[in-house]
Structure 1
Amino acid sequence: MTSADYVKPSFNPLVEKLAPPPIPSVQAWARSYDGAHGNLIDMSQAVPGYAPHADLLKWLSDAAGSPAYAGYGTIEGDLELRKVYAEHVGSLYGTMLTAANIHLTAGCNQAFVATITAIAKAGDAVLMTNPCYFNHETTLQMMGIEPRYFPCHAENGFVPRVEDVEAALDGVKVLALVTPNNPTGAVYPAEVISEIFELCRRKGIWLVLDETYRDFIEPGAGRPHALFDVKDWRDYLIQLYSFSKSFCIPGHRLGAITASEAVIEQVAKVMDNLQICAPRTPQFAVARGIPALVDWREENRLEIGRRAAAMRAAFARQNGWQLQAIGAYFAFVRHPFEGLTSSQAAERLAKDFGIVTIPGSYFGEGLEQHLRVAFANVDAEQIAEMGKRLRRIDVDQM
């Protein structure tokens, strides 16, 4: 027999047609920078720009070297962390939660995958913002779930308008929101979130609320929303969270779902097929870190605020650049290069000036003039240096 006698197997077409992961392509541009303007300023992937607390590193080390944490854990997550986290969330939002309301996952992306798998099926529709977090979009696409979008507008700071949400809700199974937002950084006001939640309740739609960056909302802002005050919140709300940013451990992959016991029961079925249980080493460490590292986490919140202030100062002196939204971890910036797409602009900035950002087009339609800037990655001095480099650019020569 010859090769012509054999039939080649095929890939899943839903996966095959996805674009490659965006972060590696941006990092490839960064590797082409020759250092002409100084050190690389990487403001692409959202990673904490400071180290984990020394105590947290010790707890991680203790757990990693312990036989007790080398075996399987409970599918929903270790009871100790689920209790501690339930108490923490309950205190933050002024509600009563128990471990039965918590499911731990290997990061917030997995929390989203497990949640969507539990509540939606192929052929259903999930509504998201435009711009949206690209991993949410590709998750839906590879599962055969239809992503739908409603617009968020620069003139409104990329905060959703309730009327835009209402106009897009028909035929939707789930509404997925991210606040503070990725990619724009916009922090959705509590009253807007409440109005949107009321729409979901009236129409029988799940609200999946990703609050990965909530620990970096400006001090004094109060609780992020009042949804847990609603008597029947358990029938409509699923909250997602990541420990990666607050505890500076993105490599340890730990996230959480807060929901009704009925939702947790369905998610556990999914999780058993994804990876049995979340990584146990960070569960041990974070269970101790939540009560013990309150002051350290608060100082990190203040530091992110200082970096946000540095961003505002850097763009206040720019010619043609517009800082159109900024929040807990990100800024969404309109670039002045009218002849370039967002990918072309981001590539030139990375290769020629050592400033690494993410093209706006990676996050949705009509965003060719935008770049996502993850300012939490770098300190105020690096942000000021970024501003100096931008002022050196001859816009007409780009």
Structure 2
Amino acid sequence: MTLPLNPAMAATFPPPVMEARRWLQGATFPPDRPLINVSQAAPVESPPLGLRQALAEAALNDPQAHLYGPVLGMPALRAEIAAQWSLAYGGSIAPEQVAITQGCNQAFTAVMSTLAGAGDAVILPTPWYFNHKMWLDMQGVTTTPLATGPGLIPDADQTAALITPATKAIVLVSPNNPGGVEYPAETLLAFLTLARAHGIALIVDETYRDFDSRTGAPHALFTDPDWTDTLIHLYSFSKAYRLTGHRVGAVVASTGRLAEVEKFLDTVAICPSQLGQIGALWGMRNLAQWVAGERAEILARRTAMHSGFHALPDWRLLGCGAYFAYVEHPFAMDSDVLAKRLVQEAGLLMLPGTMFQPAGSAEGKRQLRIAFANVDAAGIGQLFARLAALRL
């Protein structure tokens, strides 16, 4: 007998990063050409020593580190985010408008669970972050694709025509995953105005805000005195503080919205990890200079990616920033086929654009995402040497 399966779960696709890892099964990589893995946007090194010592100290000596905590997170961390975000964005954010989650994916699922259900619709620009699409599929929510064109920047005027009575939210990721592009402040403001006019939510995922190439605030949305009626902001501590395994994210939204988010979080996790929150708080209070150094290194690698593709005229760099380069390849095959061949023939693991676009998308078949953040200058040089040598 076969047990029942939720058809909404069956309708979505397998986790893309896990699927890509399966391409490595049976593959061998000689010592002079080791695998270059640019498939996942996650730090591979441990947090800095001071943060690890803070975690160890808490694990050994703070009994509260091993107990349930508040569903919406540690008050001190909520207050720190509110204070630092208010300063960074030039707006007014209160601690009670901040919730802590088990990573930013959970932040998205928690917020979306309060906004949309089966039969509703949510607008996602393409190429999209695949986990956003997967969650909407699992909930029976229709994903409305918003094409962004060659510059990968969504257009609010174009989006207006996609809004229907079923539409509950627009989701923007900036700096973008997978595209790497940084949305201009005026673009984000136009989307806030559009969403407010239609009575729907604007969700802005700023997981990669710490690696934005621009100085100053990336937008002025929090300076709007009525931002809580439309805007929901998401963040992750995984990237800037290397806390991927500790799962710490955040939601900034109205207190009324967070009261609904609390229902979801209490049901799925009860509370965020205490140790993860301790690490995040310590990082926010002590690692500003270190994070600035990390940002500088990522921006240097971004420059190297631009230079490398400039020397590969048959490739087209569509977007580059934060952790990602999003490119159009020159080969006469679909990107999902090409990505598998790159493992065998070049020792490169990257994700095809078919994982970031609607099924059958012609654009997705021409595109690849390169998560370059974990590759140093020498590795980036080797990456381009291998791409230049390809004869497929």
Q: TM-score, normalised by structure 2?
A: 0.95
Shift of 1:82: 0.7
| Secondary structure at 2:365 match in 1 | coil
Question: Are the counterparts in 2 of residues 271 and 277 from structure 1 also a CA contact under 8 Å?
Answer: yes
Alignment partners' CA distance in 2, 1:195 and 1:93: 17
Q: How does 1:336-375 map to 2 (within 5 A)?
A: 336-338=330-332, 340-364=333-357, 365-366=361-362, 367-375=364-372
Moved more, 11-20 or 77-86: 11-20
Partner of 2:78: 82
Equivalent in 146, 152, 165 of residue 150 of structure 1: 146
In structure 1, what is the Cα distance between the partners aligned to 2:44 and 2:84?
A: 24
**5+ unaligned residues in a row in structure 1: which ranges?**
1-6
Match of 1:388 among 371, 385, 389: 385
Superposed displacement of residue 89, structure 1 = 0.9
Q: Distance in 1 between matches of 2:273 and 2:250?
A: 12
Q: Which residue of 1 aligns with 2:276?
A: 282
* Corresponding residue for residue 252 of structure 1: 246
Partner of residue 40 from structure 2, selected from 23, 40, 45: 45
Q: Name the SS for the 1:30 alignment partner.
A: coil
Could you give the per-residue CA deviations for residues 157-186 of structure 1, whole angstroms, max 9, x where no partner exists? 201122221221233111111111111111
| Contact 1:63 1:285 (8 Å CA) reproduced | no
The superposition leaves residues 40-76 of structure 1 with CA deviations (integer Å, 9 ceiling, x where unpaired) of 1110010125431111111122223332211100000
Match of 1:191 among 186, 193, 214: 186
SS of 1:188 mapped into structure 2: coil
Q: Is 1:73 aligned to residue 73 of structure 2?
A: no
Q: Residue in 2 aligned with 1:106? A: 102
Matched residues in 2 for 1:29 and 1:9: separation? 29
Unmatched runs of 5 consecutive residues or more in structure 2: none
Alignment match, 1:202: 197
- Name the SS of the counterpart of 1:35 in structure 2: coil
**CA deviation after TM superposition for structure 1 residue 131, in Å:** 1.1
The answer to whether the 8 A contact 2:11-2:137 is kept is no
Q: Which moved more, 1:162-171 or 1:259-268?
A: 162-171
User: 1:130-149, aligned counterparts within 5 Å?
Assistant: 130-149=126-145
Matched, 1:177 2:157: no
SS in 2 for 1:238: strand
Instruction: State the 1:331 CA deviation.
Output: 0.8
Q: Which residue of 2 aligns with 1:379?
A: 376
Cα deviation, residue 32, structure 1: 4.0
1:30 and 1:354 in contact (8 A); partners too: no
Q: SS at 2:137's partner residue?
A: helix
Instruction: Report the residue type matching 1:180 in the other structure.
Output: P
Give the aligned partner of residue 115 of structure 1. 111
Q: Would you say the 8 A contact 1:75–1:268 is kept in 2?
A: yes
297, 301, 306: which one aligns with 1:307 = 301
The aligned amino acid for 1:246 is A
Q: Deviations over 1:184-242 (max 9, x none)?
A: 1111000111011101111111001111001100152x211111111211011100000
State the superposition RMSD in angstroms. 1.3
Correspondence for 1:4: none
Shift of 1:119: 1.7
The DSSP-based 3-state class of the residue aligned with 2:161 is helix
Partner of 1:368: helix, strand, or coil? Answer: helix
Cα distance in structure 2, aligned partners of 1:19 and 1:170: 26
Partners of 2:228 and 2:210 in 1: CA distance: 23
TM-score, normalised relative to structure 1: 0.94
For the Cα contact (< 8 Å) 2:27–2:344, is it kept in 1?
yes
Describe the superposition over 1:337-383 as per-residue Cα deviations: whole angstroms up to 9, x where unpaired: 12x11111111112221111101000113310100000112111101
Q: Which amino acid aligns with 1:123?
A: G
Secondary structure of the structure 2 residue equivalent to 1:273: helix
* 2:91 is aligned with 1:95: yes
1:32–1:351 CA contact under 8 A, matched in 2: no
**Counterpart of 2:317 in 1: which secondary structure?**
strand
Q: Distance in 2 between matches of 1:8 and 1:203?
A: 45
| Distance (whole Å) between structure 1 residues aligned to residue 136 and residue 12 of structure 2 | 11
- Helix, strand or coil for the counterpart of 1:245? coil
Q: How many equivalent residue pairs? A: 385
- Residue 80 (structure 2) pairs with residue 55 (structure 1): no
State whether residues 207 and 236 of structure 2, in contact with CA within 8 Å, keep that contact through their aligned partners in structure 1: yes
> Counterpart of 2:327?
333
User: Percent identity between the aligned chains?
Assistant: 38
Q: Distance in 2 between matches of 1:319 and 1:219?
A: 27
Q: Which segment drifts farther, 31-40 or 236-245?
A: 31-40
User: Following the alignment from structure 1 to structure 2, what is the Cα–Cα distance between the partners of residues 106 and 75?
Assistant: 11
Answer whether contact 2:184 2:218 (CA < 8 A) is retained: yes
Aligned residue number for residue 25 of structure 1: 19
